[in-house]
């Protein structure tokens, strides 16, 4: 499975990406997580220290991955991947290290090239934590054009659900087989109801709703990985989401 995690800024994509990576790894699957944020932080949520996260080498820009390209899939994972305490292999696609360094289009091209390849030899699940916004669906060819499923993370607001609806439309134009919405930060039953109503109104299939959890807020403040015994309701909901995504993948491949 090649799973893109997308959404507007501030909805919790990186936290959700790390917890989903945890959930997949817990089932015994090999997980590769790609951080495409120009200020990469996914490493923190997967258990790396600040120094270890900073030391993850970014993928080279604008290379072609594959037998006929600059690097093979094995080259990419062996040379640029770093194993995290979560048991997930982390790749950092893009990193801005100086002002005036130019656009990040080359890094996105590398990710697109990597996703175009069959990764079965090294990963059962490739999870891509995308930068905020919709630009990754509008770049030439679309960074996530080769994804199997997009999961749009939403906070309980109309703006977030409208962003998800726009994502559904753009993904269809790119030929991505399936797009689902995932509610996040639901603090009360009214938030759960809001997700249901707005997703139905805007044509977004709702995969689940993650409740607000104080343990996650504390881990984010500390810049640390969530403890294995923490946020049990969140982990239970994400286990249900993983099962649903597996079913969607099978259905979309028939």
**pLDDT at residue number 97:** 46
User: E strand or H helix at 135, and its extent?
Assistant: helix 135-138
Q: Mind listing the pLDDT tens digit for each residue in 186-217? A: 999 999 999 999 999 999 999 999 999 999 99
- For 243, other C-beta atoms within 10 Å of its C-beta total 12
Give CA–CA dist 10/125, Å, rounded: 25
**pLDDT at residue number 95:** 61
DSSP reduced 3-state for 254: coil
**pLDDT at residue number 101:** 47
Return the structure tokens found at 111: 């990710």
DSSP-assigned beta bridge partners for residue 127: 3, 33
DSSP secondary structure letter of residue 86: T
- For 130, other C-beta atoms within 10 Å of its C-beta total 28
Return the structure tokens found at 243: 């099962």
User: E strand or H helix at 33, and its extent?
Assistant: strand 31-35
Give CA–CA dist 106/61, Å, rounded: 5
Indicate the burial class of 203 (C-beta count within 10 angstroms; 0-12, 13-18, 19 or more).
exposed
Q: How far is CA 139 from CA 118, 133, 186, 187, 194, in A?
A: 22, 12, 32, 35, 32
pTM of the model: 0.90
Enumerate the domain spans of the chain: 2-53+83-92+122-253
**pLDDT at residue number 187:** 96
Strands 89-92 and 82-83: antiparallel
Q: Phi and psi at residue 30, in whole multiples of 5°? A: -80, 125
Give CA–CA dist 21/34, Å, rounded: 11
Q: Which superfamily, per CATH, for 2-53+83-92+122-253? A: P-loop containing nucleotide triphosphate hydrolases (3.40.50.300)
Give CA–CA dist 119/111, Å, rounded: 13
Strands 2-6 and 125-129: parallel
Give CA–CA dist 2/196, Å, rounded: 26
User: Which regions of the chain are under pLDDT 70?
Assistant: 94-107, 133-141
């Amino acid at each position: 499975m090649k799973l893109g995690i997308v959404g507007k800024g501030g909805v919790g994509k990186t936290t959700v990406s790390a917890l989903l990576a945890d959930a997949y790894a817990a089932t015994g699957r090999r997980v590769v997580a790609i951080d495409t944020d120009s200020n990469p932080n996914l490493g923190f949520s997967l258990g790396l220290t600040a120094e270890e996260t900073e030391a993850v080498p970014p993928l080279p820009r604008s290379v072609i991955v594959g037998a006929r390209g600059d690097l093979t899939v094995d080259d990419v994972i062996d040379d640029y991947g770093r194993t995290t305490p979560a048991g997930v292999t982390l790749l950092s696609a893009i990193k801005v290290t100086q002002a005036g360094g130019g656009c990040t289009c080359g890094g996105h091209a590398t990710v697109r090239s990597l996703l175009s390849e069959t990764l079965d030899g090294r990963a059962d699940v490739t999870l891509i934590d995308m930068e905020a916004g919709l630009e990754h669906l509008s770049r030439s060819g679309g960074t996530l054009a080769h994804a199997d499923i997009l999961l749009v993370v939403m906070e309980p607001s109309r703006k977030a659900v409208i962003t998800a609806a726009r994502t559904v439309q753009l993904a269809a134009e790119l030929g991505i087989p399936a797009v689902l919405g995932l509610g996040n930060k639901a603090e009360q039953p009214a938030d759960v109801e809001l997700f249901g109503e707005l997703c139905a109104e805007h044509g977004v299939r709702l995969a689940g709703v993650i409740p607000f959890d104080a343990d996650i807020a504390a881990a984010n403040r500390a810049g640390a990985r969530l403890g294995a015994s923490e946020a049990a309701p969140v982990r239970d909901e994400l286990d249900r989401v993983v099962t649903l995504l597996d079913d969607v993948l099978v259905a979309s491949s028939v």
